[in-house]
Chain A
Amino acid sequence: MTDTSWALFALFLAVLLALAKPIGLWLAAVGEGRLPGPLARAEAAALRALRVPVEEMDWKAYAFGTLAFSAIGLLFTYALQRAQGFLPLNPQGFGAVSPDSSFNTAISFVANTNWQGYGGETTMSYLTQMLALAVQNFVSAATGIAVAWALIRGFARHSSSTVGNLWVDLVRATVWVLLPLSFVLALCLAGRGVVQNFSPYASVTMVEAVAYTVPKVGADGQPLKDAAGRPVEETKTEATQTLPMGPIASQEAIKLLGTNGGGFLNANSAHPYENPDAFTNFLEMLAILLIGAGFCYALGKMVGDTRQGWAVLAAMSVMFAFFAIAAMSLEQAGNPAFTSIGVDQSASATQSGGNMEGKETRFGIAASALFATVTTAASCGAVNAMHDSLLPLTGGVPMLLMQLGEVVYGGVGSGLYGMLVFALLAVFIAGLMIGRTPEYLGKKIGAFEMKMVAVAVLMTPLLVLLGTSIAVLTEAGRVGVQDPGAHGFSEILYAFSSGANNNGSAFAGLSANTPFYNLMIGMAMALGRFGVIVPVLAVAGSLAARKRTPASAGSMPTHGPLFVVLLVGTVLLVGALTYLPALALGPVAEHLALFANR
């Protein structure tokens, strides 16, 4: 790692941790309904006027509400894509999106995944972007926040049959948390040059015509291959360039703050209109992890012991540091295949060095590798570099981060509830080891909680491993793979890891906009989201009903370094044990093969 990399990493982590407390205080205040007077009055009046039921709900009602709310969002998002050709704010005159792609995109945005099988600027009208996609960016993130609040209440309350009111939580998460933050961030981004308009796309004549080769695409939309299995390419020349426009800055902000990741443009945050410079890049990375880190402090605040929140935050930060430093160093080290033919990959005043394939020169190695870590530590999935072009083991970093369940800060709300599921698992085994019925944050953990924890922990490995198996076994799955061997396997594994864990980033090599992948990944996203939310809410309900046990010298401390080690160990061990064989056949095999012969 270069000095610049260290400096960037240290500055980023410092700013993030410094912001965790203020954000956490606000998240706790809003979650507990402690709003400043005028805001509280305005909210109460609005809720009354809209006849929103504000009674407390038990976990089943809360879970049912979440599912119903998301189902309606799903239908709406699907319908709008299908009907966009007849609707206004469509200067490019895009027609209806195909049924399977619409289905996939609708689930993707409702499940806070923002897996994109489509290219934004060539598919979606401004209306669809704003009314379908951006709205889901807000409410899917709000759903995550609401579920996390409900789980924290499960710990904080005792002998209670309810976990809060979903509708009030959704309103508060959207109006008091996501909207104000997005507003500020959108202005900052627009100020640095991110586009925000309703103009039709601009067409400009280039200084010189460009000749380029593209893979030839067959009638089925898939790349053609010659007899040897190599893709067939054709040469084209272009003199003019189309520059996409649109209300990008407003959507960019919530894309990051809500850990959605769905870019307005196909190139996502690698595109200068979404992410123009190093400063916006820093802001964007910060925005991705901001709420996730803040939620740890909110946990401590809401359960009445801030040390508990810091411990969880520390566990996440330890893992983040490990993965970020690994990704940055591996990428900076460069590709041995280039070294052997005499290419200079060292960092100097004139070049960033390292493996620059698939990266923007304005970001370089450090800001790209860090962004890749950040976006997969959270369930964001925005990218500023192509993950497919990362070195094998560096590519394994985002993959593993997603497979661990995105609990390193994680998605808004989902990161914390995912981590708390691991915490329950950790204290269960540790609790037994000290000879007591396991307890966490004063709540005893019984068979019901373990059952739900098991469901939540099993859900995503099931989807990832089964989905990948089906894909590699079927022709429909294998045809979309761009690269041979271990890397091709990584592309499929990455796609399912990203979908099931609601990340949404892609190893771009896989052509995933096919009915097969749209359907498979669509199901993985839906089950990966709601198959975890429902058991988490069940845990919340069960814990809320329990009595609170005061801590004693005999109960396990969950605020010290020992617990941090235990939690990190549990996350890594469960993740490693589940995915190690698959990773061995993907990134590990590719890495060893690449480095073995040099």
Chain B
Amino acid sequence: MSRPRLGMFAPELVRPAIVDAFRKLGPRDQFKNPVMFVVYAGSLLTTALWVQALVGEGEAPAWFIGAIALWLWVTVLFANFAEALAEGRSKAQAASLRGMKKESWATRLREPRFGASSWKQPANELRKGDVVLVQAGELVPCDGEVIEGMATVDESAITGESAPVVRESGGDFSAVTGGTKLLSDWIVVRCTVDPGQTFLDRMIAMVEGAKRRKTPNEIALAILLVALTIVMLLATTTLWPFSAFAVDANRTGTVVSITVLVALLVCLIPTTIGALLSAIGIAGMSRMLAANVIATSGRAVEAAGDVDVLLLDKTGTITLGNRHASAVIGAPRVPDRALMDAAQLASLADETPEGRSIVILAKQSFGIRERDLTKLGASFVPFSAQSRMSGVDMPGRRIRKGAPDAIARFVASQGGTVSIEVKRIIDEVARRGSTPLVVAENAAVLGVVELKDIVKTGIKERFAEMRRMGIRTVMITGDNSLTAAAIAAESGVDEFLADATPEAKLALIREHQAAGRMVAMTGDGTNDAPALAQADVAVAMNSGTQAAKEAGNMVDLDSNPTKLIEVVEIGKQMLMTRGSLTTFSMANDIAKYFAIIPAAFATTYPALEALDVMRLATPASAVLSATIFNALVIVALIPLALKGVRYRALGAGPLLRRNLVVYGLGGIAIPFVGIKAIDLALVAFNLA
């Protein structure tokens, strides 16, 4: 991508984040996050107690209350900083996007055709349905559809891909994006969006609004965190009466101080995840954008993590876009050279990649050079959806190449038949995963050109990975089932849908959904739109039609169909990061109890000292160490929150075991070490 990448703690991000951390100290900002609001309230309370201790009788030494209050404020600031840092990255992304929204003028056309009378209008006033003319060197003024003409467009501003792309009317490459630049020719564009709804606007809204719209899992997690906070609030506030009762009954010691209770409360509530929760969400959206995917909502990103079935188009995703002719197999008594010659004649005027590859094969393997069709008196018969074949008509010769059934009809109409031998060749080619292209001259079938599909390198490993993640891959192809089966076997997909029509695709999605599975798919054509609309996660190619883009809930700016796999990983990563930090946060509490409980009741029940397994220096240093650890762990985990927990394509069981060991057991053990170390440091520097 051309947008600048910034290091995690780049100074230009950190400096404003520090300022923002202080700016977010207002109660209104704090109230949005219930967990951190409790810390905030605790900071205010201990500060008041500190002031009371300074001016008169305090409940504990002023330095102790002051130190606790200070570290509680630091905790709040660290949480603010984490959020500000994540926001800062998004803002930088948004700003660079906004920079592309230059003030520009559009050439409005009075009628939707090239050459109609026109006038100039500011680009940001264009509305849906307006028609504009864009010429070489100009910026496309709005998102829209090419209705006339063809041009090369530099889309690097949006996609980061520097190679220019061709955009033309009709077909699946008719969409243009506002802010991209025409390099050649002209196009007439009908705007498809109103101001404020353009791609750029949506991207900016996505990065800036990441914080506001909560996803379903985020809401559920927030409820859990609030519940945990209430539990801890109960457990700590009731300690005061319990302690008072104990002091009264034993007639020794002093009632636990409010400062210690506040410190205990802050240590126990899930501050780690509470402080980093919004940063995780913002960072997730940021990562999505860095992968060049625009999601319409965070919900869609999260849904990607739940995908059970992935529908992938064969062409372009599993195989390289174009098939090429790799061999010719003549019918009995037809020399290969004669077959090649006829196939080349039929392909000379054929501009499709397949057609070009036949001409190349003829030249490379048989030395047959290109000929001038007009000199031969030939006329080209282009491919049509009805006939499903193409070819040339020459005096006395009608050469056709096409799908086996189409050619069978062609020869049958002239009294010929497809021999058993040719049928066998056709099946053999199909079984190899190649596409048989049958060549016929008049009533005779000459033979078969083998069009080979090239399976992308590395795709098999990708699918194996998906299988380990529990995701089934389904290949969608218009090929017959023999060919499809061969490609499916070669590429390692779990299932395939052959002879796919838009209806069959839609039916397949519905079938999976009815069985309770979440379905993801990619698509670019208009005929993909119904399926895209039906799928749970639908990634439309940016190069695709407007209809496809509107039906999907994500748009891949790179138009890379394998991107779906990355989208799934980002979705999972976001959930995993939240889950892991929640576990870590809760597991931390055990050590904190062992630090604070003996300290808090040292005067009433000296025997509780046996619980102080860390052998902390003094009750004051124990409470302070736990509080400091609690604050520092937030900063220590900011990189993890922003980068996300690393996703590994393992099954659910091994993945859970791994994360439980790292974040669960790690969460139990680390604070014992951390608190002890801080305690030693405090003693070494005579601070407690």
Q: A residues within 8 Å of B by Cβ?
A: 158, 425, 428-438, 442, 445-447, 449-451, 454, 457-458, 461-462, 465-466, 468-469, 472-473, 478, 484-486, 488-489, 547-550, 552-557, 560, 562, 566, 569, 573-574, 576-582, 584-585, 588-589, 592-593, 596
A83 to chain B, nearest CB (A): 40
User: Which residues on the B side are within 8 Å of A596 (C-beta)?
Assistant: 607, 610
A582–B607 alpha-carbon span in the complex (Å): 15
16 CB contacts below 8 A, A to B, read A430-B660, A433-B583, A434-B656, A436-B572, A450-B223, A485-B249, A489-B249, A548-B516, A549-B308, A550-B515, A556-B656, A562-B660, A576-B590, A577-B235, A581-B264, A582-B242
Known: A478-B245, A573-B590, A574-B231. 18 other contacts (CB 8 A): A158-B516, A429-B224, A432-B579, A435-B576, A435-B579, A446-B216, A446-B220, A447-B216, A458-B230, A461-B234, A486-B605, A554-B308, A555-B652, A573-B587, A577-B590, A585-B601, A592-B605, A592-B611
Residue numbers of B with Cβ under 8 A of A are: 216-217, 219-221, 223-224, 226-227, 230-232, 234-236, 238-239, 241-246, 249-250, 264, 268, 302, 305-306, 308, 467-472, 515-517, 571-576, 578-580, 582-583, 586-587, 589-590, 593, 597, 601, 605, 607-608, 610-611, 647, 651-653, 655-657, 659-660, 663-664
Q: Give Cα distance in the complex from A574 to B586, angstroms.
A: 9
Asked if A549 and B516 make an inter-chain contact with CB atoms under 8 angstroms apart, the answer reads yes
B305 to chain A, nearest CB (A): 5
Question: B579 near A431 (CB under 8 angstroms)?
Answer: yes
Among A451, A462, A552, which residue has its beta carbon within 8 angstroms of that of B472? Answer: A552
Contact A488 B249 (CB under 8 A): yes
Contact call A584/B231, Cβ cutoff below 8 A: no
B242/A585 in contact, CB under 8 A: yes
Enumerate chain B residues within 8 angstroms of A581, measured Cβ to Cβ: 235-236, 239, 242, 264, 593, 597
Separation of A461 and B239 alpha carbons in the complex (Å): 13
Q: Quote the shortest CB–CB distance from B682 to chain A (angstroms).
A: 24
CB contacts (< 8 Å) of A432 on chain B: these are 217, 221, 575-576, 578-580, 582
CB neighbours of A447 from chain B (8 A):
216, 219-220, 223
Q: B238 — which chain A residues lie within 8 A by C-beta?
A: 465-466, 468-469, 582
Give Cα A408 to B239, complex, Å. Answer: 27
Say yes or no: A433-B224 contact (C-beta < 8 A), given A488-B249, A555-B470. no
Chain B residues near A485 (CB-CB < 8 A): 246, 249-250
Check if A554 sits within 8 Å of B246, measured CB to CB.
Answer: no
- Which of B231, B651, B655, B664 is A577 in contact with, Cβ under 8 Å? B231
Minimum Cβ distance to chain A for residue B508 (Å): 16
Q: Contacts A434-B659, A577-B232, A577-B586 known; A592 to B607 CB distance under 8 Å?
A: yes
Chain B contacts of A484 at CB under 8 A?
249-250
Whether A578 lies near B245 (C-beta < 8 A) is no
When chains A and B are docked, how far (Å) is the Cα of A484 from the Cα of B597? 21
Number of A-B contacts (CB under 8 A): 219
CA distance A220 to B593 in the complex (A): 41
Query: Residues of B contacting A446 with CB < 8 Å?
Result: 216, 220
Shortest distance from the beta carbon of B273 to any chain A beta carbon, whole Å: 10
Given contacts A437-B216, A447-B216, A457-B227, contact A553 B651 (CB under 8 A): yes
CB of A486 to closest CB in B, whole Å: 7
Per the bound structure, the CA–CA distance linking A218 and B313 in Å amounts to 88
Chain B contact residues, majority secondary structure: helix
Q: How far is the CB of B503 from chain A (nearest CB, A)?
A: 24
Query: Which residues on B sit within 8 Å (CB–CB) of A547?
Result: 516
User: How far in angstroms is the closest Cβ of chain B from A262?
Assistant: 29
Q: Check B575 against A429 for contact (C-beta < 8 Å).
A: no
Shortest beta-carbon distance, B266 to chain A, in Å? 14
Which of chain A's residues have a CB closer than 8 A to the CB of B515? 550
Partner of A433 from B226, B236, B663 at Cβ < 8 Å: B663
Nearest Cβ on chain B to A381's Cβ, whole angstroms: 24
Residues of chain B with a CB closer than 8 A to A584's CB: 597, 601, 608, 611
Q: Which residues of B contact A433 (CB under 8 A)?
A: 576, 579-580, 583, 655-656, 659-660, 663
CB-CB under 8 A for A562 and B653, given A429-B583, A433-B579: yes
A434 in complex: contacting residue of B517, B601, B655, CB < 8 Å: B655
Q: Which of B223, B468, B572, B610 has the largest number of chain A CB atoms within 10 A?
A: B223
List of A residues within 8 angstroms of B647 by Cβ: 435
In the bound complex, what is the Cα–Cα distance between A454 and B245 (angstroms)? 30
- Known contacts A554-B471, A556-B652: A578-B235 contact under CB 8 Å: yes
Residue of B nearest to A569 (CB): B664
Partner of B268, one of A431, A554, A577: A577
The answer on a CB contact under 8 Å between A437 and B305 is: yes
A554 touches B470 (CB 8 A): yes
B217, B470, B573: which contacts A552 (Cβ < 8 A)?
Answer: B470
| Given known A-B contacts A435-B647, A489-B249, A556 and B576 have beta carbons under 8 A apart | no
Q: Which residues of A contact B582 (CB under 8 A)?
A: 429, 432
Check A592–B610 contact: CB distance below 8 A. yes
| Closest chain A residue, CB of each to CB of B246 | A585
